[in-house]
Amino acid sequence: MLEKLKDALRARFGTAPDLDDAPRNVDVLAEMANRRVIRRYTDQPVDPALLDTLCAVALSAPSKSDLQQGDIVIVSDKGQREKLEALLPDNPWVKAAPVFLVFCGNNRRHRLLFDWRKRPFVNDYLDPFFNAAVDAGIVLATFIAAADRVGLGTCPISAIRNHAQQVSDILSLPDHVFPVAALGAGWPSFPGVMSPRLGLDVSIHRDRYDETGLEEKIAAYDKRREAVQPYRTQRYTDRFGASPEYGWSEDKARQYSVPERADFGAFVRRKGFKLD
């Protein structure tokens, strides 16, 4: 099982740590390292009780100062789902997911404690928004890990932030509650796709941040990724043309060459947050 873990890490990062002894629950680590993005599902429904259980497990995750600022909206009403799906025309697989969840940051409950006690909320700046967003992200990641363990497939949907105000209106999110990401989930109809990641020498630092050889390391990653998971199409060829070598770095540079979510800061401020 140790070799299975190392094989998964090599497939993901190109290298694996030189681990000699299998740690406890090495089989779980191997499964986590081998996790796949799942965007195709069977028609088998997900038991609502199982879904509630996975939500409970996800909400058992660490929370900043025990403030518990991550919420999950289970969207099961057909009309509600159709409204949300209409906002995501570039994600047609969303309609096929038996489960649709929206993970939210919630700083409202914390503020209500002050209202109920007639005390001023003196920490009204960027940190409350950041804390709630991180809490929601941790809950999302924990849900994904829990879903993997029971055999469900998942894929996060950050594109809902492209329409944050509409999503907020559809879900009736009050002030200081905001969408962070959605998640499609269901029983997989295929093994899924492993996304190769940047090399460990890019993302793991020792004692201090280090960018030594970064450009060369990313170029090597581009080649490694293109060899196992080439992009089927190139973005914005009308602006940039077709590149003979189209890797991760070129794709991301093209993706964010077009403004995206430029109104998100204004949305967050309308939700009552001060981002100073």
Residues 6+ apart with CB under 8 A from 268: 129, 178, 275
- Model confidence band, residue 5 (pLDDT cutoffs 50, 70, 90): very high
Q: What whole-number distance in Å separates Cα of residue 256 and Cα of residue 258?
A: 5
- Residue 266 pLDDT > 90, yes or no? yes
List pLDDT tens digits, range 111-131: 999 999 999 999 999 999 999
List pLDDT tens digits, range 67-105: 999 999 999 999 999 999 999 998 888 999 999 999 999
CA–CA distances in Å: residue 258 to residues 93, 179, 224, 253: 24, 22, 26, 9
pTM of the model: 0.95
**What CATH topology corresponds to 48-192?**
NADH Oxidase (3.40.109)
List pLDDT tens digits, range 237-247: 999 999 999 99
CA–CA distances in Å: residue 73 to residues 27, 136, 140, 217, 270: 32, 12, 12, 40, 21
List pLDDT tens digits, range 38-68: 999 999 999 999 999 999 999 999 999 999 9
Q: What's the pLDDT score for residue 276?
A: 87
**Domain chopping of the chain, boundaries:** 2-33, 48-192, 200-255
Mean pLDDT over 7-21 rounds to: 97
